[in-house]
Structure 1
Amino acid sequence: MLGKAVLLVALLAVAVGVYLLPSPIDPKPHVLKGPPPALEGPLAVNTRLQKGRRLFIGQLHGPESFTADQEGNVYTGTVDGKLWRIGRDDSLTLITQMGQAIPECGSSTDYEPVCGRPHGVRLDKHGQLIVGDSYLGLHSVNPQNGEKTLLLANSEGADGVPFAFLNGLEISSQTGTIYFTDSSRRWGRRHVKLEVIELNNLGRLLTYDPESGRVKVLLDALYMPNGIALSPDEDFLLLAETSIGRILRYWLKGPKAGTTEVVMDNMIGYPDNIRLSDHGTFLVGITTPRFRKLMPPFLDMIAPYPAVKRFLAKVIPLSWYDVLLPRHALVLELALDGRLLGSLQDPDGRLTRAVSDVFQHGGRTYLGSTDLPFLPVLELWDS
């Protein structure tokens, strides 16, 4: 009996200690629009994403975003802070390291603030790479010699608020304006799981004028704003709010200029980057599906309960949440008006299990990811 009493007291002491321990997150209750949509119609399960192959296994770790030049070279950045050029012959050339080149780069997210983590990557009209590094700010990089020029540091921020998590990036071909997102004013990329669990509207959509150096906030109070894509006429852009599974349209021109509307809500998964396809539609990479199988999705269940989320953030290591993620890759195709046209899926994770970006160039489709150690490609677009 004495032993049981001692054990009970010990367990009680541990429980009290955990309860009193401060939580790293400060969530607010959030009620989602409803259960995720059914896997039917345009979302019917298919294997269209399994018709590809993996390139650069063990060489490219987390190729997140892509752009291409007129010679057919493709550029991307990886979790170790490096920028790469992929030649038309599938050669791989290191362009530069965004931060410090130390041996630990890529071994742990703890080193990302030092090594850098390039997310949005685009080419401007001068042939320079514009890179949104999550930790180190906006840069212009010469793709030939790797020379870096800092345009806007995270510490500078906008309206007196520093950047914490630069993410999506797009450049106007008409004005040269750089559109970009800061996913959170609190959490950096290495704590993205805390950002998603916390589910607060701490992100912004911004612009940077490379001629004047002026930065401007277009939208505030966004839920983890992520990928952005300009329409063909650049009269609006689409923006993914990852943590609540929503896509917004922000009007840049016309009678609705400066206004926002919801294009897609209560999505089948959490959207990452949005890109224009080579046949005039939008392609949305789903970083994690949101499936309802035997029970509601985990994030759906805990969304309304801040106390539960505070407790989980205190006791569960961030890496453990990976076991809850379905290994089901998913890409959505949207019409310019936001209608869902179809999907490409890999329900078994044979080619890939998560998609951050869907970039079409030279007859090939490149599938990005945040941390997988290879680059999946489709040689043909299965329409």
Structure 2
Amino acid sequence: MKMVSITKTIFLLQIWILVNVSPYQLVHCKFSPLELPYRTFGPDSTAFDAKGDGPYTGVGDGRVLKYQGPNIGFTEFAITSPNRIKARCDGTNDPLSQRTCGRPFGLGFYFKTGDLYITDAYYGLLVVRPSGGQATQLVTGFDGKPFGFLDALDIDQEKGIVYFVDSAAIFKTRLLFALSGDTTGRLYKYDIRTKKVTLLLNGLSGPAGVALSKDKSYLLITELIGRRIRRFWLKGAKANSSDVFINVDGNPDNIKMTASGDFWVAIVSINKQLIPPISSIGQRINQFGEVVETRDFTDLFKSPTGITEVHEYKGKLYIGSLVQNFVGLSFLT
């Protein structure tokens, strides 16, 4: 009996340690969807303007939509393709149609002017004025060669620099480059004042997200194929060099900095032994590369692609995907 009692005590102690001294906390959270218009899919990422309005999101039929509150919902704000035909494109989420209709992924407002900067997989880096409408192409390639597949962006509000990633130089769909083992991804910067594009880093393995640190000393770039987050130094003794910030158990997509300086990253994992085989989690990582919180969205995003972004804004998490007809809304408390 004494041995049983000791064993039980040790077991309870182990449970207490797992719950209270775990390196990160697994949270199952309250959730509600922000529905997109009928037959509209794929809200990959989100952004908010200087007034806090939004979220804005780019969807699979080539439009950028703006959320106008629960009574109105999402309305059309901008389009990226100069060749877009409304009757053909509205409601599609077909990668072949996106060559004509456009496919906006990364979004970011430059607060000084109110302009929205957009990376489109097929139409390059664009900008649209605060009133919305047809976006203007800024850059479609580098050094005489067209971009392959532009994805995420982030903006240095003080310097007026747009950082963005080209996920792969040879493939035009995420599925293809995710399966390829490709290492042709690149990190660029665009100077809003001079309109100059500079290559910062190449040889990336499926870069899918980029986020500027709070002190602006480095960028974090997710490598979806490489299953890691890379750090590119902008300042200090290591400037213009990179290192591995953290290895990830899964395929990381978009990454967003929080107001406190931590980072949320969307991670999708495939395990054929599980039902469903696709798991979708959001992990909050601190400035030391430590996972401090994990939130499981698997049951809420039952799709073959999982989630693409977890964006914290004013006490809420906004979750993106490539196939769902809603932006996920989760509450931090």
Q: What is the aligned residue count?
A: 303
Separation in structure 1 between the aligned mates of residue 276 and residue 198 of structure 2, nearest angstrom: 36
CA spacing shift, 1:182–1:69, aligned 2, 3 Å: same
More helix by share: 1
Q: Residues 55 and 375 of structure 1 are in contact (CA less than 8 Å); yes or no, is this contact kept in structure 2?
A: yes
1:142 aligned onto 2:129: yes
Q: Percent identity?
A: 31
Q: Residues 269 and 291 of structure 1 are in contact (CA less than 8 Å); yes or no, is this contact kept in structure 2?
A: no
| Matching residue of 1:275 | 256
Higher relative contact order (Cα pairs below 8 Å, separated by 6+ residues): 1
1:66 maps to which of 26, 46, 56: 46
1:337 aligned onto 2:319: no
* TM-score normalized by the length of structure 2: 0.84
CA spacing shift, 1:107–1:221, aligned 2, 3 Å: closer
Q: How many angstroms does 1:325 deviate by? A: 7.4
1:361 maps to which of 308, 313, 331: 313
The equivalences for 1:1-383 within 5 A come to 41-42=22-23, 46-48=27-29, 51-57=30-36, 59=38, 60-74=40-54, 75-89=56-70, 91-99=73-81, 100-105=84-89, 106-124=92-110, 125-153=112-140, 157-189=141-173, 192-265=174-247, 267-286=248-267, 288-291=268-271, 293=273, 326-347=277-298, 349-350=299-300, 354-378=306-330, 380-382=331-333
Residue 172 of structure 2 aligns with an amino acid whose one-letter code is: G
Separation in structure 2 between the aligned mates of residue 351 and residue 241 of structure 1, nearest angstrom: 22
Q: Residues 217 and 236 of structure 2 are in contact (CA less than 8 Å); yes or no, is this contact kept in structure 1?
A: yes
3-state DSSP of counterpart to 1:279: coil
Unaligned stretches of 5+ in structure 1? 1-39, 295-323
Q: What CA deviation, in whole Å up to 9, does each residue of 1:124-172 have, x standing for no partner?
A: 121000001110011110231424221112xxx1123320100010111
CA spacing shift, 1:107–1:338, aligned 2, 3 Å: closer
Q: What CA deviation, in whole Å up to 9, does each residue of 1:55-106 have, x standing for no partner?
A: 2155441111111123321211101000111124563221122220343321
Unaligned stretches of 5+ in structure 2? 1-20
* TM-score normalized by the length of structure 1: 0.74
CA spacing shift, 1:337–1:216, aligned 2, 3 Å: same
CA spacing shift, 1:159–1:345, aligned 2, 3 Å: same
| Matching residue of 2:3 | none
**Alignment root-mean-square deviation, CA:** 2.2
Q: How many angstroms does 1:216 deviate by? A: 0.9
CA spacing shift, 1:92–1:263, aligned 2, 3 Å: same
Separation in structure 1 between the aligned mates of residue 36 and residue 193 of structure 2, nearest angstrom: 40
Q: How many angstroms does 1:357 deviate by? A: 1.3
CA spacing shift, 1:43–1:103, aligned 2, 3 Å: farther
More strand by share: 2
Q: What CA deviation, in whole Å up to 9, does each residue of 1:293-343 have, x standing for no partner?
A: 48xxxxxxxxxxxxxxxxxxxxxxxxxxxxx97342200110012111120
Residue 72 of structure 1 aligns with an amino acid whose one-letter code is: G
